[in-house]
A and B are shown apart, each in its own frame.
Chain A
């Protein structure tokens, strides 16, 4: 079974802090994704990566950055956390190529106070 592991289920941080969310997958997937999920807005893509050290902006990249130093690990960074970044963050991964489903981690519920 595919395993996508997010480092924390719940996280509480303060405004202005630098926040790191970690995601690790064990299936040798090329693609990795970070989404945020908010009520009434669905899943919105923040960043994705299709290879080590490669990254591309999704729909809402402002206020975020990412790092992919190893194939299995994809980190989301909130450079200076703000209250409007309180959300559920979901990591996903998939193989490269057509018609490959994405597999999701359990999510990190992040609260910025």
Chain B
């Protein structure tokens, strides 16, 4: 059965810390891996990764994919209270139905002042 596993499930840090969120997957026909940030409302799209070893970066957030070891990490440097959210990892597959994503359960990040 295809699955996406995120760790840790929750994390509490202080402002200024650097955090690393993990996402491992077992998916038969991997196509892409996506990261989303969910605050109180809609998950918002952060990154899509399709190739190993190529870092995607946006401000203090960065992510990289390892297709050999079947995982991705999301790094947040110099965390701020506004980074507090649930971070969702999702994997898309080839074949089957277009556009479907398999989601992990999320990592809840709390950044304390």
List A residues at the B interface (Cβ < 8 Å). Answer: 4, 31, 33, 35, 40-45, 48, 50, 56, 58, 90, 94, 96-107
Contacts and interface: CB of A to CB of B under 8 A. Distances in A.
B42 A106 contact: yes
Interface of B: 31-32, 34, 36, 41-45, 48, 50, 88, 90, 92, 94, 97-101, 103-106
14 contacts: A31-B98, A31-B99, A33-B100, A35-B103, A41-B105, A45-B100, A48-B99, A90-B43, A96-B99, A98-B31, A102-B34, A104-B36, A106-B42, A107-B42
Nearest to A104: B42
B35 to A, nearest CB: 10
Given A42-B104, A99-B50, 4 more contacts: A42-B103, A43-B103, A94-B99, A103-B45
Dominant secondary structure of chain B at its interface with chain A: strand
